[in-house]
Amino acid sequence: MDLLLAEKISRLGEYLEYLEELKNCSLEDYLSDYKIRGASERFMQLAIESIIDIGNEVISVLKLKRAERYRDIPLILAKNRIITEDLAEEISQMIGFRNILVHDYASIDIRLEHRFLQTRLVDFYEFREQIIEWLKTRPLKEEG
């Protein structure tokens, strides 16, 4: 497996571990504790950016058409049968959520953010698993 991809996949796993810990907090705690909310937002952002980085690396190594927008990355992966189309749609929406976290944080719905934490971590795991499965069938070599 490509060492850079392996490192990025490992980092995604770390962020998911942190998010799993934060996932156990109640909505009341999430709303009232800025430390929990801040940590959650940051690790969600980092996990989504890991997906973007992993996708970009696969696209680059395979010399596929470059994405014009981050939201196009999972669609390109699905078109090339690296991940499923259903997952690509979920990941594309997730990237839209990341854009809100990064650029429009003042208007974010904290309840929606908590719901995302409670319900969408499965998409991160599914993405990771599909990339790993794809790599098993088509291993990438470290360049250089």
Structure tokens at 129: 């698993």
Q: Would you identify the CATH topology of the domain 3-137?
A: Four Helix Bundle (Hemerythrin (Met), subunit A) (1.20.120)
pTM score: 0.89
The predicted-structure confidence for 89-124, as pLDDT tens digits, reads as follows 999 999 988 888 888 767 788 998 999 999 999 999
Taking phi over 0 as left and psi of -120 to 50 as alpha, with beta for the rest, 64 belongs to beta
| 49, 3 Cβ separation under 8 angstroms | no
The dihedral formed by the CA atoms of 87, 89, 92 and 94, expressed in degrees to the nearest 10:
-70
Domain extents in the chain: 3-137
Average pLDDT of the residues of the chain: 91
